[in-house]
Amino acid sequence: MPLGYLAALVAKMPSWIEMIIELDEYEIKPSGPSRYGMQPARTTRELVQLFENSLAAGRGALAGTNDGHLMKSWRLLVSGRVVSEQLRHIALTDAVLSLLAHHRGQLGVYLRLNDAPVPALYGPSADEGGL
């Protein structure tokens, strides 16, 4: 996965919280444009703005939902075929939180390969002199 695409994916993923809460299903290969599809970022500023917008959408959706809604089923489709069906709270954990941690780790590898410091994720990083 190219670095720019991966960075945009990580920036966009918090908006998937909104998608899972607001929609009953999501089609990975929709016939038309999708609000949750990938948006390339040409500059660091655009990438940061994409992340901030995605984070705001995710936080807003979480603030507006309840436990009962999170216990309802959510489906992921590819070309009209169901590939995953699970409760929303599980989809949030699997499709957003776990996958986000995985892709952030991939970004860390890209940074290391490009001799760029890896920022702190869960406390100081060795690159920031905090360890």
pLDDT in tens, 50-96: 999 999 999 999 999 999 999 999 999 998 899 999 999 999 999 89
Cα–Cα distance measured from residue 32 to residue 27, given in angstroms and rounded to the nearest whole number: 10
Cα–Cα distance measured from residue 112 to residue 34, given in angstroms and rounded to the nearest whole number: 33
Cα–Cα distance measured from residue 4 to residue 110, given in angstroms and rounded to the nearest whole number: 10
Enumerate domains of the chain plus CATH numbers.
3-119 (1.20.120)
pLDDT at 14 over 80: yes
Query: Which residues, other chains included, contact 57 with Cβ-Cβ below 8 Å and sequence gap of 6+?
Result: 14, 15, 17, 18
pLDDT in the model for residue 129: 65
pLDDT in the model for residue 91: 96
Cα–Cα distance measured from residue 119 to residue 131, given in angstroms and rounded to the nearest whole number: 12
pLDDT in the model for residue 8: 93
pLDDT in the model for residue 1: 85
